[in-house]
Structure 1
Amino acid sequence: MNYLVERGPLGQAAADTGTAENLGGLVGVAAQAIDNLGEWGVGAFTLAETVVPPIPSEVILPLAGYLAKQGSLSLFLLFVTSTLGAYLGALLLYWLGFRLGLERSIRGLSRLPLVDRQDFEGAAGWFGRHGRSSIFFGRLLPGVRSLISLPAGAAKMHLGTFSLFTLGGSGLWNGTLIGLGFLLGNHYRLIEQYSRFLNYAVYGALALSVAWLVVRRIRRRRAPR
Structure 2
Amino acid sequence: MEYFTELWNSFLAYLNDQPPGWIYFFLFWGAFLENVIPIIPGDTLIVFGAYLAGIGVIAVWPAYFAMWIGSAVGCLLLYGIAFVKGRSFFLRLNIKFLNEENLHRTETWFNRYGDKVVIFNRFLPAVRVFVGIVAGISQMHPLRMTLYVVFGTLLWNSLLVYFGLMVGENWEIVVAVLKTYNRVLAILMVVGIIGFWCWRRKKKQREK
Residue in 1 that maps onto 2:69:
84
Structure 2: distance between partners of 1:177 and 1:150 = 24
Asked whether the 8 Å contact 2:90–2:98 carries over to 1, the reply is no
Asked if structure 1 preserves the Cα contact closer than 8 Å seen for 2:163 and 2:174, the reply is no
| 1:10-29 superposed matches below 5 A | 28-29=9-10
Match of 1:66 among 35, 40, 51: 51
State the secondary structure of the residue aligned to 2:35.
helix
- Give the superposition deviation at 1:57: 2.3
Alignment match, 1:44? 29
Instruction: Give the counterpart letter for 2:23 in structure 1.
Output: G
Q: Specify the alignment match of 1:57 in structure 2.
A: 42
Q: Residues 1-225 of structure 1 correspond to what in structure 2 (within 5 A)?
A: 28-35=9-16, 36=18, 37-102=22-87, 104-109=88-93, 111-113=94-96, 115-185=98-168, 188=169, 191=170
Task: Please say which structure displays the higher CA radius of gyration.
Answer: 1
Amino acid at match of 2:152: G
Q: Percent identity?
A: 25
* Structure 1 residues 26 and 175: alpha-carbon distance in aligned structure 2, compared to 1, 3 A threshold: farther
SS in 1 for 2:155: helix
Normalized against structure 1, the TM-score is what?
A: 0.66
Q: Write the distance in 2 (CA, Å) between the matches of 1:45 and 1:165.
A: 21
Cα distance in 1 between the residues matched to 2:27 and 2:73: 13
Contact 1:42 1:78 in 2 (8 A): yes
Q: Verify the 8 A CA contact 2:79 2:136 in the aligned structure 1.
A: yes
Q: Offset at 1:157?
A: 1.0
SS in 2 for 1:51: coil
Distance 1:147-1:34 versus aligned 2 partners, 3 A rule: farther
- After superposition, the Cα gap between the structure-2 partners of 1:27 and 1:95, relative to the gap in structure 1 and judged at 3 Å, is closer
- Residue by residue over 1:55-85, the C-alpha shift from the partner in whole angstroms, topping out at 9 and shown as x without a partner, is 1123111111111111112211122111111
Q: Which runs of 5+ in 2 are unaligned?
A: 1-5, 184-208
Q: Please state how far the C-alpha of 1:136 moved relative to its aligned partner.
A: 0.5
Q: Answer yes or no: is the 8 Å Cα contact 1:106–1:120 preserved in 2.
A: no
Superposed CA RMSD in Å reads 2.9
- How far did residue 33 of structure 1 move? 4.1
Distance 2:60 2:122 in 1: 21
Q: How far is the alpha carbon of 1:141 from its aligned partner?
A: 1.0
Structure 1 unpaired stretches of 5+:
1-24, 209-225
What displacement does 1:34 show? 3.6
Length-normalised TM-score, structure 2: 0.71
Q: What is the CA distance between 1:172 and its match in structure 2?
A: 1.0
- Listed one character per residue, the Cα deviations across residues 190-223 of structure 1 (whole Å, up to 9, x for unaligned) are x49xx7x999x7xx99xx9xxxxxxxxxxxxxxx
- Give me the whole-angstrom Cα distance separating, in 2, the residues matched to 1:64 and 1:70: 10
